[in-house]
Amino acid sequence: MKNGSRLCRSFLIAIGILILASCATTKLTTVWKDENFHGTIGKVVVVGAFREPSIRNFFEDEFVRQLKSRGVDAVASYTIVPIGELKRKGFLMTEIRRSGADAALVTRLVDKKTVGSYVPGEVYVVPNYYRRWGPYFDYIYQPGYMVREEYAYAETNVYDTKDEKLIWAARSRTLMSGSRRDLIKSFVRTMTDEMASDKLIK
């Protein structure tokens, strides 16, 4: 009895780990890099173009933290540009250049969608040997159900501050499940991993 309970518990834990491992919240849909750009970014200003100051600040701070962990000198734009001035492109770029950055990374939300999908019912077997000998298994039917998932679509661009030329761009889709902070951390990790893969950063 005890051995069976342990096996069942271990099985459930293993399934839980597999499910968590497969739930990547952010996936890249398109990535582009200017083939004429060579070398890596030295210093970058991170701009989170979001309406809520708290979200912008956390987003930029997380990007700065992860970029610095890879040896990139990064600055959060909220430390040099007030949120009310983000729409003034000329002012924004002037302040970014004044900071000494050679690149600007800008992320903005481009769309939100709610997607509904039907999960069909299934029959599964429940072992009954702890209760009686026969029948050895019971069969249980689980009816189908609808699942609604919300996705956020974002655009992340990296510009050379010398001529404001686009040198790297990525579009992404994020499943909005979990806290905002966890989603942002996952999003930034996906972006920095891809930027490193494209030799934009180390």
Each domain of the chain, given as residue ranges in start order, spans 24-114+150-197
Taking all residues of the chain, what is their mean pLDDT, rounded to a whole number? Answer: 83
Higher pLDDT, 77 or 132: 77
CATH 3.40.50.1360 fits 24-114+150-197, yes or no: no
Question: Residue 5's pLDDT is what?
Answer: 47
pLDDT range class, residue 20, cuts 50, 70, 90: very low
Do 128 and 136 form a contact (C-beta atoms < 8 A)? yes
CA distance 59 to 188: 8
Is the pLDDT at 133 greater than 60, yes or no?
no
pLDDT range class, residue 132, cuts 50, 70, 90: low
Question: Residue 134's pLDDT is what?
Answer: 53
Contacts of residue 170, defined as CB under 8 A and 6 or more positions apart, other chains included, come to: 28, 30, 31, 32, 155, 156, 191, 194
Average pLDDT over residues 6-18: 40
Least confident of 48-52, 119-123, 165-169: 119-123
pLDDT range class, residue 90, cuts 50, 70, 90: confident
Is the pLDDT at 19 greater than 60, yes or no?
no
pLDDT range class, residue 126, cuts 50, 70, 90: low
Question: Residue 8's pLDDT is what?
Answer: 44
Is the pLDDT at 53 greater than 60, yes or no?
yes
Residue appearing with tokens 């690149």: 103
DSSP state of 196: H
CA distance 135 to 78: 67
Average pLDDT over residues 67-79: 97
Strand partners, 117: 147
Rg of the chain over all Cα atoms, to the nearest angstrom:
24
DSSP state of 129: T
CA distance 41 to 95: 18
